[in-house]
């Protein structure tokens, strides 16, 4: 079609606190952060990357996992050493009020969530965490695999549009 396509890559996020949120790139980085933070944890990342969290000190006592109520998820949680009382099997979406209730029920001090946007109930979780005084570890979206850095894209645009 003769149309140029340019894609700007976002800079890689480094783990950092912003308010009560600590941003990391992967589940493994989230687990490493939890090793340094005291208190009960609500994992809302599902069962897929659950194995990343078994190296958290006292994980069997501290971590509560909200996951889909599937046989596969429950078996995975059990095989990794999570007691049934630490597996919260529910189908979303979840309201701010339900998140608050879970924080209170399990004395949660830290929430681990993916940056899932509106469809994943991200904002309801964050608002509930703020109200409850719960710190949040946010696993960012997977990095983009193609595109240009700001400077690379600027150079391409200068060439394309004859800018100096």
End-to-end CA distance of the chain: 27
DSSP β-ladder status, 16-18 and 21-24: antiparallel
Structural domain count of the chain? 1
Residue 65 domain flag: yes
Q: What is the pTM of this model?
A: 0.77
What is the CATH classification number for the domain harbouring 28?
Answer: 3.40.50
Within a domain: 11: no
Structural domain including 55 reads: 16-160
Q: How does pLDDT run across 125-148, given as a tens digit for each residue?
A: 999 999 999 999 999 865 556 788
Assess contact for 148 and 6: CB atoms under 8 A: yes
Pairing mode, strands 108-114 and 16-18? unpaired
24 falls within a domain: yes
pLDDT digits (tens, 9 = 90+) for 68-107: 999 999 999 999 999 999 999 999 889 999 999 999 999 9
């Amino acid at each position: 079609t003769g149309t140029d396509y340019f894609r700007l890559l976002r800079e890689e996020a480094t783990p950092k606190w912003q308010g009560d949120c600590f941003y990391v790139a992967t589940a493994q980085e989230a687990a490493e952060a939890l090793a340094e933070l005291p208190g009960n944890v609500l994992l809302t990342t599902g069962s897929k990357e659950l194995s990343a969290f078994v190296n958290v000190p006292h994980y069997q006592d501290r971590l509560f996992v909200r996951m889909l109520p599937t046989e596969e998820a429950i078996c995975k949680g059990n095989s990794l050493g999570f007691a049934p009382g630490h597996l919260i099997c529910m189908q979303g979406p979840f309201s701010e009020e339900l998140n608050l209730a879970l924080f209170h029920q399990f004395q949660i001090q830290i929430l681990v969530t993916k940056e899932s946007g509106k469809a994943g109930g991200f904002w309801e979780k964050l608002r509930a965490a703020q109200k409850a005084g719960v710190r949040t570890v946010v696993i960012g979206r997977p990095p983009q695999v193609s595109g240009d850095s700001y400077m690379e894209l600027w150079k391409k645009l200068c060439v394309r549009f004859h800018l100096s």
